[in-house]
Amino acid sequence: MSALKFVRSVWEAFRANSGLEPRLLDGIRVTAASPGKVHFELPIQKQHTNRLGVLHGGTIASMVDLGGSLALASRGLFSTGVSTDLNVTYLSSGGKIGDLIKGEAVCDKFGKTLAYTSIKFLNKDKEIVARGSHTKFVALAQKDPQNIVEVLEPGKPETPGSS
């Protein structure tokens, strides 16, 4: 199975089983994935904005959380662990209703108990508007029978036709 197909299946599990993601982030589209890296985008709608009509910081924080989880999914984790730390730095407005914000999430380190991710967000002009980091406890998640960690290791070629 390709990293993209697996990440999309994990995203669908979030949408089916979570309370927050399907309400706030249902419009996210995973556009690319390789082991350790995921690209996604969100068309900004009213529910994503603050009272000034621009992208709400809470929406970005939620995308840091989800983006970090999807970066771990791109390494083969179906159960993506639990958050131990989340940080967001806001650099400028992410956009307004009708704009598209893009995210790039990377798994920086994948250890036995903790995994570290970083996420950057780009506006319609491809300027970085926010960046985040997300640490997750993954020791228990690594035991999930739906994981395919050994298949999606970075640097390991995927088998032809495994999309």
Domains and CATH numbers, the chain: 3-143 (3.10.129.10)
82-90: strand order across its sheet: 29-34, 37-43, 100-110, 114-122, 128-137, 82-90
Q: Can you state the angle between helices 3-17 and 57-73, rounded to 10 degrees?
A: 130
pLDDT for 159 equals 46
Indicate the pTM of the whole model. Answer: 0.90
Q: What is the pLDDT of residues 69-108, one digit of tens each?
A: 999 999 999 999 999 999 999 999 999 999 999 999 999 9
DSSP letter at 7 equals: H
Burial of residue 101, with CB atoms counted within 10 A of its CB: 0-12 exposed, 13-18 middle, 19 or more buried: buried
pLDDT for 40 equals 98
Q: What is the pLDDT of residues 46-62, one digit of tens each?
A: 999 999 999 999 999 99
Q: How many CA atoms lie within 13 A of 157 on its CB side?
A: 3
pLDDT for 53 equals 95
- From residue 152, alpha-carbon distances to 79, 147, 156 in Å are 14, 10, 7
Averaged pLDDT, 124-143: 95
Q: What is the distance between the alpha carbons of residues 82 and 79, in angstroms, rounded to a whole number? A: 9
Q: What is the distance between the alpha carbons of residues 86 and 105, in angstroms, rounded to a whole number? A: 13
Structural tokens at position 155: 């640097």
